[in-house]
Amino acid sequence: MPDVTLEYSDCPLGCDAGSELVVQGRDRELGLPGLFTVVRCRGCGLRRTDPRPDRLSMGSFYPPEYAPYAAPTLSAGSGKSGRVGTFARRAVRFKDSDVPPMEPGRALEIGCAGGAYLERLRSDGWEVSGVEFSPEAAAAARSRDFSVEVGPIETAELPREPVDLVVAWMVLEHLHDPVGALRRLKAVTRPGGWLACSVPNAASLERRVFGQHWYSLALPRHLHHFDPGSLSRVLSAAGWTVIRVQHQRILLNLMASLGLVLEGRRGPVGAAGWRLATFPSRAHWFNVLAYPFAVVFAAFGQTGRMTVWARPNHSASSR
């Protein structure tokens, strides 16, 4: 693994109230070396990884075998995942990849990976394009005849024509500058358009229970750790108004987090832990069977993931 340079960062909302320690942890997914710290801003409450790998170092933590690049789907009920995924999409509403009700138009997906969700949008009549950090994943999407720009959203070339919908599934937590990125996305969204994004919910019960073993902590790839309040403040600072927060009806993080607790142990317990820690990649039937319980958790805002819809605040002179 190449040398990694760590950098300290300020709160992206410009707070100067200082920070307090939340938790320390390691790279549980790929086992890459390093101990990483999450702090909480005393001013706005936004949690962030600090210090963090700088932009040049970040690619070391996204090898081609990184699970979202290899997985056929990016969410519990979206994309093409065979009979289980088709049944899940028709039978239940996980609320993991819902977009606002609107007529198909021009859509942009940030972090499109291999193009599974772009395929879903295209099949629904959308004209689509994407941005993807990984060259290998972008190449896979391009092989499916999608227009995909390679690079981080902070610097990648965006569509010249305004888009009606921007989607970003589990992306904002990976960004060094979420406010700046969201401003760029606002600039290419037409007045009256929409942003649909999802992030892990750092206010969830599972985060409090599992601490450094929380599956969605995902250090050091997750640079910001949002709750509904802090995400709303970040969106507002970038010129977006939150319209709806939906807590996803999915409990697979609970199983994976339990696996992270167990996988370091010896013998059958450790082997079972490894199986659970890698559980999300094959959890389609579990998501369906656990759905009634997930609905209850979601009603109280206690599942580990949330989906947010927002609209741009376009002034009369902004275009």
**pLDDT per position as a tens digit, 220-246:** 999 999 999 999 999 999 999 999 999
pTM of the model: 0.89
What pLDDT, on a 0 to 100 scale, did the predictor assign at position 85?
Answer: 52
Q: Is it the case that residue 54 has pLDDT exceeding 70? A: yes
pLDDT average, residue stretch 132-148: 95
- Cα–Cα distance for residue pair 231/215, rounded to 1 Å: 19
Q: Starting from the edge strand earliest in sequence, which strands make up the sheet with 224-225, in order?
A: 19-26, 35-41, 47-49, 224-225
- Cα–Cα distance for residue pair 215/204, rounded to 1 Å: 12
Tell me whether strands 6-7 and 19-26 are parallel, antiparallel or unpaired.
unpaired
CATH tag, 66-312: 3.40.50.150
Domain boundaries, the chain: 66-312
148 contacts 109 by C-beta, under 8 angstroms? no
Query: Does 150 or 252 have the greater pLDDT score?
Result: 150
pLDDT average, residue stretch 181-185: 98
Q: Is it the case that residue 81 has pLDDT exceeding 50? A: no
- Cα–Cα distance for residue pair 249/100, rounded to 1 Å: 17
- Cα–Cα distance for residue pair 185/6, rounded to 1 Å: 27
- Cα–Cα distance for residue pair 307/247, rounded to 1 Å: 6
Is the bond preceding residue 178 a cis peptide, omega within 30 degrees? no
Q: Measured in whole angstroms, how far is the alpha carbon of residue 7 from the centre of its chain?
A: 22
Return mean pLDDT, the chain.
88
